[in-house]
Structure formats: structure tokens, C-alpha cells
Amino acid sequence: PGKKTKPAPDVFLYAAEQLGANPKNTFVIEDSVHGVTGARTAGMRVIGFTGAGHSYPGHADSLTEAGAETVIRRLAELGSTIAALSEWSEDA
């Protein structure tokens, strides 16, 4: 009873609360399928990241299938990606 299933959105909601951020207006950068799922469950927008050493063939596809709106490979792409996605909303 009361056991939470993974991936629970709690950590993402807690972080947004601590930062005073609205989850719907928050981007999460995630490199795991569980993390993408948890952030999406929290109502956040997700950018997948495959630039870490533990990336694998098909990683980008797995993150997209889990709910990432797009996937980047280098952190240098983050600023322009957030700018582009900020102009586009799933609710529009």
C-alpha cells in the first residue's frame, strides 16, 4: 500500500517546486527512458540527451518513444533547442 511505481514524477515535481517553476513550462534534459517517462508524467517537456558515455545504438529512438520531444547529442545544442521548442507548444 502506498508503494510508488517507477518512474514516479516526484523528484521532478519536487525540483520544480523548489525552483518556483510551473511544471508545464519546464524543460527536463534526460538521458534515460525512465527519466523521460517520469518527467512526462510530471507534465514537463523533455529533451533527450545521448552525449554521455553510456549512450548506445538506438538510444535516441528509445528516448523519443518514451516521450522526449527531441534528442540532442551535445550540450552546445541545448540553448538553440530550448529556443526552438519554446516557440512551439503541443497545446498550440
Q: What is the CATH number of the domain that holds 56?
A: 3.40.50.1000
* pLDDT tens digit sequence for 14-45: 999 999 999 999 999 999 999 999 999 999 99
Long-range contacts of 65-68 (CB under 8 A, 24+ apart): 65/33, 66/33, 66/36, 66/37, 66/40, 67/36, 67/37, 67/39, 67/40, 68/30, 68/36
Q: Please check whether residue 79 lies inside any domain of the structure.
A: yes
Q: Domain for residue 1, yes or no?
A: no
Is residue 46 situated within a structural domain? yes
Q: 26: domain range?
A: 10-87
- Give the number of domains in the chain: 1
Whether the model clears a pTM of 0.85, i.e. scores above it, the answer is: yes
pLDDT digits (tens, 9 = 90+) for 56-90: 999 999 999 999 999 999 999 999 999 999 997 75
Mean pLDDT of all residues in the chain? 91
